[in-house]
Amino acid sequence: MRPRKGNLSFLVLIAAIAMLPVLTSNSYVISIMCFVAIYGTLALGMGVLLEHAGIFSLAHPTWFGLGAYFAGIVAIRGIAPAWAGILIGAVCVGLIAYLIGAPLLRLKGYYLTCASFAVLLIFEITFAQFSSITGGHEGLMGIPRLTIGTIVFRKDIHYYYLSWGLCLACFCFLYNLMNSRIGRAIESLHDSEVASSCMGINVARFRLLTFILTAVMASLAGSVFCFYIRFTMPTIYGFALLLEVLTMIVIGGGKKLYGPLVGAFIMIWLRELLHGLMRRILPVMTSEVDAIFFGIAVIVILIFAPHGLSGSLAAFVNKYRRSA
């Protein structure tokens, strides 16, 4: 069974993204759109994890950070070519996610949330403390440029196509996955694990599968991110990133697959707008100050539009179609 309904809008989206650098040569817009793609990939995976599979894991930014650190360390030490670092990172993160996920996913509800939050903080501390490998609090500096074959990724535009390629590939993969037999099994976990195990679904296996798949996606995004900004720091991948990703998922809404992507787009552009507006009033705009505005936004959306903007949009379109 292959879904065809959304194909046209998906093609339009791809065309729009491919045409954007042609329409504007503004490197600021291009670089912000890179961040949208990278954070969007991360939020996409976490949205599937939280809202489709019903696994309340908060450890997702950890996989992003691990991907960045693996790729960065491989590139700096010259263990392998830079592009291989991305793949090595993905494989290693998949293994680590398996080793951590297998015992952790036995937990349910609040307990899983707390244990995964502990995992997030443990990795944040580990990145900061084992300074001989990870560079400590200052992080890894001087990550070389990404080269694939003879192509050197030098400009924003290269990373723009790389990150959007990754993002759309992940989206495509998840879209097809969620409409397949495996996807419907994952979807059923969210509503009732007892019912789905009665239907012959191996609950533990599918929970672990979703966990590892989304972890690998986050790791790929993290590796691209580290080559794009060319340094890594432990604080980037901790609680602050978790807040940002949760904000994206809540704003966009996780029930629709594209929701977190919409959320990432809105949140990152809103943040840029906010920084532009507030620069005169507030001298420092750290992520904690951003969190005031986004915290309020999250609360307002949770109260008035519990399914996020994509959910509200879908409800509105449905209503309009029915009345017309």
Partner 1 sequence: MSLWSEIVQYTISGITSGSIFAIIGICWSFVYLIAKVMNFATGEFVMLGGMITWSLSLKGFGLLQSAVIAILSTTVIAAIVERTVIRPIKHGTELTYIIATIACASVIKGIALLMWGSETRLVKPFFKSEPFQVLGATLNPQVLCVIGYLVIVTGSLALLLNYTLFGKGLRTCALNQINAELIGVDTKKMRLFCFMLAGGLASATGIVTAPITFTGYEVGLLTGLKGLIAAIVGNWTMIGTVSVAMGLGLVEAFSAGFISSGLKDLFTLLIVIIFLVLRTLTFLPGRRWIK
Q: Coil, strand or helix: which one is 272?
A: helix
Closest of 53, 61, 33 to residue 219, by C-alpha: 61
Q: How far is the CB of 303 from partner 1 (least distance, A)?
A: 5
Q: Does 264 bind partner 1 (CB under 8 A)?
A: no
Given a contact cutoff of 8 angstroms between Cβ atoms, the answer to whether 2 and 132 are in contact is: no
Q: Which of 88, 115, 201, 261 binds partner 1 (CB under 8 A)?
A: 115
Q: Does 106 bind partner 1 (CB under 8 A)?
A: yes
Which residues pair with residue 147 across a beta bridge? 152
- Distance between first and last Cα of the chain: 30
Q: Which of 42, 162, 246, 248 binds partner 1 (CB under 8 A)?
A: 246
Residues 6 or more apart whose CB falls under 8 angstroms from that of 132 comprise none
Q: Does 49 bind partner 1 (CB under 8 A)?
A: no
Q: How far is the CB of 68 from partner 1 (least distance, A)?
A: 20
198 vs 284 by CB, closer to partner 1: 284
Q: How far is the CB of 234 from partner 1 (least distance, A)?
A: 12
Q: How far is the CB of 273 from partner 1 (least distance, A)?
A: 18
Q: How far is the CB of 73 from partner 1 (least distance, A)?
A: 20
Closest of 21, 14, 18, 65 to residue 156, by C-alpha: 21
Closest of 57, 44, 64 to residue 238, by C-alpha: 64
Q: Does 289 bind partner 1 (CB under 8 A)?
A: yes
232 vs 247 by CB, closer to partner 1: 247
Considering only the stretches 9-17, 149-157, 243-251, 264-272, report the one whose residues sit in contact with partner 1 under the rule CB under 8 A. Answer: 243-251
Q: How far is the CB of 178 from partner 1 (least distance, A)?
A: 19
- Tokens coding 100: 């951590």
What CA–CA distance (Å, rounded) separates 71 from 171? 22
Q: Does 191 bind partner 1 (CB under 8 A)?
A: no
Q: Are strands 151-152 and 147-148 parallel, antiparallel or unpaired?
A: antiparallel
Q: Which of 23, 194, 198, 292 binds partner 1 (CB under 8 A)?
A: 292
Closest of 195, 191, 174, 192 to residue 183, by C-alpha: 174
Q: Does 126 bind partner 1 (CB under 8 A)?
A: yes
- Burial (CB < 10 A; 0-12, 13-18, 19+), residue 161, is middle
What CA–CA distance (Å, rounded) separates 41 from 172? 11
Q: How many residues bind partner 1 (CB under 8 A)?
A: 41
* Interface positions with partner 1 (CB under 8 A): 50, 56, 103-104, 106-107, 109-111, 113-115, 117-119, 121-122, 125-126, 128-129, 239, 243, 246-247, 250, 282, 286, 288-292, 294-296, 298-299, 302-303, 306
